[in-house]
Amino acid sequence: MPDVTISPKGEDRIRSGHPWVYRSDLSEVNAGRGEVVLVQGRRKAPLGHALYSDRSEIALRLLTRGHEPPTLATWRAWMDAAISYRESLGIDATAYRLIHGEADRLPGLVVDRYGDYLVLQALVQGVDRLLPDLTRLLVERLQPSGILARNDPRVRLLEGLEQTVSVLHGTVPEGIEIREGRARYVVDPYHGQKTGLFLDQRENRVAAAGYASGRALDAFSYNGGFALALAPVCSEVIAVDISDEAVRRITDNATRNGVTNVHARAMNVFDELRELERRGERFDTIVLDPPAFAKNKAAVAKALSGYKEINLRALKLLRPGGFLISCSCSYNVSESMFADVLAAAAVDARADVVVVEKRMQGRDHPVLMTVPETYYLKCFVLRKL
């Protein structure tokens, strides 16, 4: 079997429970692109087996610890365990994540269900190389009508892989109707964000509806997920997104669900929040679900400024007794950093604010305890006194 010897630093990292080894911690490589390799430490002692990348700074992604290499039966068992876990959750939706990379012992593989269809992403060389076998296992386990590979994320470029979108099995339509609770959406699996929908916010949308009332504002609305969740319990929902296409989707989704109290606007959210404040408008419920402001560490300072700005404006627009559901999906902005920003925004808004609940990505997007990188979505439910 191909093998890679790593430095003491890399070995210590693996023993601490983290499955990644960086290129700088490789001492000797006898492996090719995307191969499953034996990982060796001090005095060539076997540590386990990993996927090897000859391009990425994350050179090794550990699969197993010990002497036994993974086989196709191993991959089948991991896949079955991941899918069985989702089936045990009793998810009230037809769209959710089935496989979540490292948190399911399947590094670099993402699989989402959209009704009778699957959309997957192979984000590392090793998974891309194994894709025919993994596709067969998915068909064997789930019998989907079609499987689409949304292999167009930019992260694939770091692996030396092409950005492609292709059907791997059956047929996949450009529009798939899915249900999330009582709400129904049409998802575009070929062009939508991530694999078509922000599935990681599903449980937070349900939670937000439990606090919402009165007049609501859903900022950075995308396809209106939060807006549609809030509509049944609110008198009016204003959904704001900078994209004309997003506003069209929000309007279409509202019509599909027979919702008449959701009003969508194509506006820059920063500008709209300032304009709403200038006009003296007030809301009982506000949701802030912006895109990732900090895609790397260099962008953190600017991101924190952006988060403070929108939360400051939102707290000024919020009526006493109202709820602000504020989110950050930037991994590089930690929960404590985000909490500090929210506190600073409250001080500048001269608002007394309590934390009612702290949430994260849905249970179908689990966090691996020893891999902080898998905890990326922070969601604070705040109440203004």
Positions marked active-site: 329
Residue where the block lists tokens 């694999």: 195
Quick check: 13 and 41 in contact, CB under 8 A? no
Q: Residue 48 corresponds to which tokens in the numbers above?
A: 């386990």
d(CA 244, CA 259): 20
Cβ neighbours around 106 below 10 Å, total:
21
Cβ neighbours around 249 below 10 Å, total:
22
Look at residues 77, 63, 110 and name the one whose alpha carbon lies nearest to residue 365: 110
Q: Residue 245 corresponds to which tokens in the numbers above?
A: 């296409």
Residue where the block lists tokens 């002497």: 67
Residue where the block lists tokens 């994260």: 360
Quick check: 319 and 285 in contact, CB under 8 A? no
d(CA 202, CA 91): 10
Residue where the block lists tokens 């279409």: 252
Contacts 24+ apart (CB under 8 A), 337-344: 337/300, 337/304, 338/307, 338/378, 338/380, 339/380, 341/304, 341/307, 341/308, 341/311, 342/307, 342/311, 342/380, 342/382, 344/308
Summarize the chain as % helix, strand, coil (round to 5): 35, 30, 30
